[in-house]
Structure 1
Amino acid sequence: MSTPAPREVLSDRISQLGLVRASDLPGRGGARRAASHVGAAPAPPVAVVEPEPEPARDHDGALLPVAGPLTGLLPWGGLRRGSTVSVHGSTALLLALVAEASRAGSWCALVGLPGVGLAAADEAGLDLARTALVPRPGPRPATVVAALVDGVDVVVLGGASAWRAGDRQRLAARVRQKGAVLVPVGAWPGADVELHAAGGTWSGLLGDGAGRLRSRRVHLRCAARGRAHELRSDVLLPGPGGGCAPVPGETVEPAPLGADRPARTG
């Protein structure tokens, strides 16, 4: 008997879990249709945008790319397969962290984040044809996430604080085995990397309040397992073009772990 392809296994698992699939909703118009579809669904959870081709799992490529301003903060210069990177304080940072990998061909799933829809993912730069949304994974989130880890490259996970230690450890082991990247939102003991965002100074308005908000300066700090210091830097999130952009003249600075440095407002 032949072994099912990874995508067939993932599709069967999603069907068994009772998730609703929509495979023809790319682009901004698709985002609007997806929002309508989700609102009309009789019961959660809902998985949006299951990609048609089998996911390309490039296990030879150990790193997935990230936006330029984030490369100097992360210990490997990208998202390392098999790792867990927790994100604190900013949905914009969360989406910016995975957008570059999505555009480069990686498949992503956003789980347990009902406030993040396809329109937001599209604006952040994710490739909607390679993005799945599971806003409410139901009473068995560990089963849902394990199924997704089998078939996608990056799994973003909301509600991380509610996970039990045993479930966290089993999921982390599965992520390492499958060569995926896990991005939990909030505290995740044992994470390889922790990214924190703080502050948020908008620019674009004139002195009289006229004008248009164009960018927001955010202070980031990154702690990594085995690294003696945090690395810190300010970025524009969003930048003038909508994604993550560098602050002119800003450099990555080391700081003692746990030290507090307020975000600059210049």
Structure 2
Amino acid sequence: MEFARAVSADAAIAVGAMAAERTLPVDEALVPLLPEGALVRGRSVACSGLLGPSLALAMAAAACRKGSWSAMVDVPWLGVEAAAEIGVPLERFVRVDSCRPDGSVGRDERGDLWGEVLGAVLDGFEIVITRVPPRVPAGLVRRITTRLRSRGGVLVVVGDPGPLSADVVCESGAVRWDGVGAGHGHLRARRVVVRSSGRRVARPRQVDLWLPAPGGGIVAAPPEPIAFSPRPEAASVLSPWGEAPSALSPVG
């Protein structure tokens, strides 16, 4: 915690210098998912689904490469190796754990210590990745939201945002690994379908991504319809979410 405070003080200098900028950049492949094509200061993004943790790291990568600082609070199963694979420069990335060894957050499921740590980290880091405790009270969420807006940071939530009510929700769906043939080869890249929705998104958007791409990082993948058979006798081509493609805004 003391280390995080020290780094936070240094990072606050950069935050002050960049506070006039309303948005923070994301990799080109993620631009179609966000209403402004970037992360907006004072707002939150939730990343859910199987690849929610990887997607959350990807949200921070481009801004960190351009000089922003990012911290990850209480996501114990996500290591710095994963951040590096996605393209986050580790010299601009700090991991802070306030949870117990068993993964429970703070003093109890209400997230008391989580709230203290997160509030301190928001003072100095532009992008903060975290998970929301299962029983966090609404009052604490309001305080965190107020701190987020006043400091001009971006909060990226892994998994269910709970009472936080994220501005944008990015949900990862169908996943496919590439590189393995019939009993030979090795995993080189992972293809995933991601859609965004939420109160800041007028209509749901959908993109296909390589996360990670064959050379690391994240890049756009050509759209690829997925065969979905709700009944053995009838196969139809739907989106990975079980929706007709027309229900999603065209992207790309």
2:60 maps to 1:98: yes
> In structure 2, what is the equivalent of residue 164 of structure 1?
137
Report deviation, 1:109: 0.7
* CA deviation profile, 1:17-45 (whole Å, cap 9, x unmatched): xx253xxxxxxxxxxxxxxxxxxxxxxxx
> In structure 1, what is the equivalent of residue 198 of structure 2?
224
Q: What does residue range 172-211 of structure 1 map to in structure 2 within 5 Å?
A: 172-188=145-161, 189=163, 190-206=165-181, 208-211=182-185
> In structure 2, what is the equivalent of residue 31 of structure 1?
none
Report deviation, 1:262: 9.3
2:234 maps to 1:260: no
Q: Which amino acid aligns with 1:167?
A: L
Distance in 2, matches of 1:119 and 1:226, equals 32
Report deviation, 1:162: 3.4
Counting strand residues as a fraction of each chain, which structure ranks higher?
Answer: 2
**Unaligned stretches of 5+ residues in structure 1:** 1-18, 22-46, 252-258
Q: What does residue range 21-100 of structure 1 map to in structure 2 within 5 Å?
A: 21=3, 50=7, 53-55=10-12, 56-57=14-15, 58-89=18-49, 90=51, 91-100=53-62
Distance in 2, matches of 1:129 and 1:149, equals 18
Give the TM-score taking structure 1 as reference length: 0.72
> In structure 1, what is the equivalent of residue 229 of structure 2?
none
Distance change in 2, residues 1:166/1:235 (3 Å): same
Residue 61 of structure 2 aligns to a residue whose secondary structure is helix
> In structure 1, what is the equivalent of residue 237 of structure 2?
none
Distance change in 2, residues 1:191/1:52 (3 Å): closer
Distance change in 2, residues 1:226/1:153 (3 Å): closer
Number of equivalent positions: 212
Identity among equivalent pairs (%): 36
Q: Which amino acid aligns with 2:174?
A: G
Distance change in 2, residues 1:107/1:226 (3 Å): closer
Report deviation, 1:70: 0.7
Give the TM-score taking structure 2 as reference length: 0.76
Distance change in 2, residues 1:54/1:109 (3 Å): closer
Distance change in 2, residues 1:185/1:160 (3 Å): farther
* CA deviation profile, 1:101-126 (whole Å, cap 9, x unmatched): 11111111100111122222222222
TM-align CA RMSD? 2.5
Distance in 2, matches of 1:53 and 1:245, equals 32
Residue 72 of structure 1 aligns to a residue whose secondary structure is helix
Report deviation, 1:48: 10
Q: Which amino acid aligns with 1:260?
A: G
Checking the alignment, whether the CA contact within 8 Å between 1:82 and 1:179 is kept in structure 2 is yes
Distance in 1, matches of 2:159 and 2:132, equals 8
Q: What does residue range 116-195 of structure 1 map to in structure 2 within 5 Å?
A: 116-137=78-99, 138-139=106-107, 140-188=113-161, 189=163, 190-195=165-170
